[in-house]
Chain A
Amino acid sequence: MSRSQPNRARDIPAVLFVTAVALFLLVTVNPVAGQAPAGAGAKAPTTTEAARGAAAAAKAPTAGQFRPYKAPRTPDGKPDLNGIWQAFVTADIDVQDHDAQAGPHPDIMGAYGAWPGGQGIVEGGEIPYKPEALAKKKENAEKRMLVNITSDDHRHDTGDPELKCYTPGVPRANYMPFPFQIIQGPDRIMIAYEFARSLRTVYMNANDKTIPQEPPADTWMGWSSGHFEGDTLVVDSKGFLPYTWFDRAGDYHSDALHVVERYTQVSPYHIMYEATIEDPNVFTRPWKMSFPLYRRMEKGIQLVDFNCTEFVLDLLYGQYSKYPKK
């Protein structure tokens, strides 16, 4: 046997060891490529990520597919969802498939008032209504523009709450055609909506004894508790008043509504959003809606007032005016 043989045999594990160390350190200690653009500062991709990116860059993205992505972290180590986001589905009109339509008063509104068509966001296509509840949904749709504001709860019997600028409820607030801002503190996440300045607070600290675990009162936007499962923010909401709708098509719920949302950042610019709706008074089983949320990338982007109530005072109270319109 030559002198180098035994040495070479011992060299192999050493070489393997060094390569393993190098590869491992490169992959784990360096953050992966793909940073939230706002304020974080881009970091150079790792060797493996750059390789993957170069191969994929030759192809345009495929709708519905995202490359593996790990969101940057907040100081307390949670996925950082801070930013201004917006949905671009037409689900506010109808969460199920819908053709374009003329909208109200086309003789005055023309194309301004026409509503676009869109593919539904309901997984499986159809909302699983109980038969009597489906009849109620249809009645809602027929009366969606019938506004009769009384000084009691009957004001909510007819008329789409969106029409009245009432706060839209969950999850409708997330697919209104308006941006919203996620502000993520360590024990609270607040979601501020441009539409009617609606606001949600998600309580993130289950150990905080000063915060009730059960909803202390029923509200329009529900009572929300949240936690992270890996890279996904899970928000569990209940304690809803029964007055909000899911869309202009009259899709609705009772005060037994229970919504579980999942927010997963799948790229620097997208959150995949999913909401599971449960309401045994209205539906035969739980059902899901899902769609991407897009990060608003305009420089200096900020929510702007859409106070909204200022535009509908005559709509709401005109019947009590000294000069009612006929």
Chain B
Amino acid sequence: MNNRWWILSAALGVVLAAVLCLPRFASAQAPSSTSTKPTGISAGAKSKTPPASNTKPWTVPRTPDGHPDLHGYYNFLTVTPMERPAKYGNREFLTPEETQEVFRTGLQSAFEPRDGDEVHYGNELFNPNSVDYDPTTFGLSPWQNGIKPNPRTSLVVDPPDGHIPPRTTAAQSARVLAAEVTASGNINLAGSRAGTVVQGHGYVTDDHNGGGIVHADVPLDLGYGTTCVSPGGGPPIFPAEYNADMYILQTHDTVVLQGVNGYRVIPLDGRAHFSANFHQWQGNGVGHWEGDTLVVETTNFRPDDTYRGANAKTLKITERFTRISADTIEYKFTIDDPATWTKPWSVILPLSAEKGPMFEFACSEDDYDAVNILAGARAAEKKTSEVPISQK
């Protein structure tokens, strides 16, 4: 009897000890390192503004594998112009007063543009006078749109003059036809027509009489954007007038960059790119960490859908994500295509943390535009053709 008691209690003690040693229990006691709640005021290192002096310095939160935690929702709408306005000369940064003025006037004209306003959503093709896009009907109010003040004079940071380098002679002489420029800045060669680009849509050409002529004979004339073929989400990540939201999901070997109308799954396991035989709508991206910066390199673009009409064979887009504060990721993209631009060029676009969630964007499923534009063109043709012969 004594022996049995001894065995039983010893066995019980062993069981308890072994269970407590199981990895599951050990890790549950480790402090969580995935919180992104702000622990201090933004240091704003890149903007060179001094941090607030009376709080703990902010440190980047990390995932269990030790990398900075980038996950969350971000807004990347901006009123900073793509290229540096001449009045700033060689200055990379605005003064604090200028920053607020640019922010204030940008917000105002984004929401309620007046004649003569140049609305810079970073996409200079946006025309507040266009009949297509009336910001007073679709624009977000300043308190909604998530734009934050940006102390930079331009989005382009390299070359240091803040201007996109000239295109190569070869690229200039190759006629990029009046193709559709999608919201992301991609130029789709589908539906290209000779003529002047009006309102960023290849299927509308200037009638030189204050209006536009719609060429919508076949569905592909509308281009890949309006027909919901071209997915959003970059690369590069770049705002249009709206839907400048994204979500980043991060595991130890994969990053998902989710845009509103499209997403990319980026492997971080060091694999090579696809061979040159593959041409993908959003290219083929692979990622790796360089210190605390996530680097994503993308090649293998489709020749009929490249950023600013670049050459799909030689285009490489490199993106760098660095969390610089609790609510900002500094996002820098570099466009490198020696066949199209005389040198690589880079943009810094802040990603500002915002509240989620993101909703589903079922583009093709709800594409009424494709029907209405084509049907409208047919109705206009019918009307013209019904004019009596004597009046033609």
Contacts and interface: CB of A to CB of B under 8 A. Distances in A.
Interface of A: 9-10, 12-13, 16-17, 20-21, 24-25, 28-29, 39, 73-77, 82, 149-152, 161, 164-167, 181, 183-186, 188, 190, 192, 197, 199, 201, 203, 210-212, 216-217, 219-221, 243, 300, 302-305, 307, 309-310, 313-314, 316-318, 320-323
B286 to A, nearest CB: 10
Contacts of A217: 359-360
B18 interface: yes
A166 B363 CA distance: 9
Contact of A185 (B217, B250, B364): B250
Nearest to A211: B357
Given A314-B219, A321-B374, A82 B254 contact: yes
A24 B18 contact: yes
A39 B249 CA distance: 19
Residue of B220, B251, B258, B263 most packed against chain A (CB within 10 A): B251
A219 B360 contact: yes
Interface stretch (B6-14, B43-51, B200-208): B6-14
A317 B372 CA distance: 10
Interface string B199-235: 0000000000000000001111000100111010000
Contact of A188 (B64, B249, B254): B249
Given A190-B249, A317-B227, 8 more contacts: A17-B11, A216-B357, A216-B359, A220-B360, A300-B271, A302-B274, A320-B219, A323-B218
Nearest to A192: B265
B133 interface: no
Given A212-B357, A317-B219, A167 B362 contact: yes
A75 B252 CA distance: 9
Contacts of B15: 24
B22 A221 contact: no
B71 A185 contact: yes
Contacts of A149: 370-371
B7 A16 contact: yes
A313 B219 contact: yes
Interface in B333-371: 355-360, 362, 364-365, 368, 370-371
B27 A304 contact: no
Contacts of A314: 218-219
Nearest to A321: B218
Nearest to A75: B64
Contacts of A20: 7, 10-11, 14
B289 interface: no
A313 B373 CA distance: 14
B18 A321 contact: no
Contacts of B4: 13
A6 to B, nearest CB: 11
Contact of B280 (A16, A304, A318): A304
B24 A186 contact: no
A305 B375 CA distance: 30
Contacts of B219: 313-314, 316-318, 320-321
20 contacts: A10-B3, A13-B10, A16-B7, A24-B15, A74-B251, A149-B371, A151-B372, A166-B364, A185-B71, A185-B251, A192-B256, A192-B265, A201-B357, A211-B357, A217-B359, A300-B272, A313-B220, A314-B218, A316-B370, A323-B218
Contacts of A212: 357
B64 A17 contact: no
B387 interface: no
Interface of B: 3-4, 6-7, 10-11, 14-15, 18-19, 21-24, 27-28, 34, 63-65, 71, 217-220, 224, 227-229, 231, 249-254, 256, 258, 262-263, 265, 267, 269, 271-272, 274, 278, 280-281, 355-360, 362, 364-365, 368, 370-372, 374-375, 377-378, 381
A254 to B, nearest CB: 17
Contact of B27 (A12, A16, A17, A75): A75
A152 B369 CA distance: 11
B365 A220 contact: yes
B364 A320 contact: no
B371 A25 contact: no
Contact of B14 (A9, A24, A75): A24
A321 B14 contact: no
A320 B281 contact: no
A228 to B, nearest CB: 12
Nearest to B63: A75
B24 A77 contact: yes
B327 to A, nearest CB: 14
Contacts of A203: 357
Nearest to B5: A13
B272 to A, nearest CB: 8
Which of A29, A201, A219 has its CB near the most chain B CB atoms (within 10 A)? A201
Nearest to B21: A29
A221 B356 CA distance: 18
Given A167-B365, A183-B251, A210 B357 contact: yes
B370 A39 contact: no
A29 B21 CA distance: 7
Contacts of B7: 13, 16-17, 20
A18 to B, nearest CB: 10
B251 A82 contact: yes
A172 to B, nearest CB: 14
Contact of B6 (A13, A152, A181): A13
Contacts of A152: 368
Contacts of A190: 249, 256, 258
A309 B229 contact: yes
B13 to A, nearest CB: 10
B360 A77 contact: no
Contact of B364 (A16, A181, A300, A309): A309
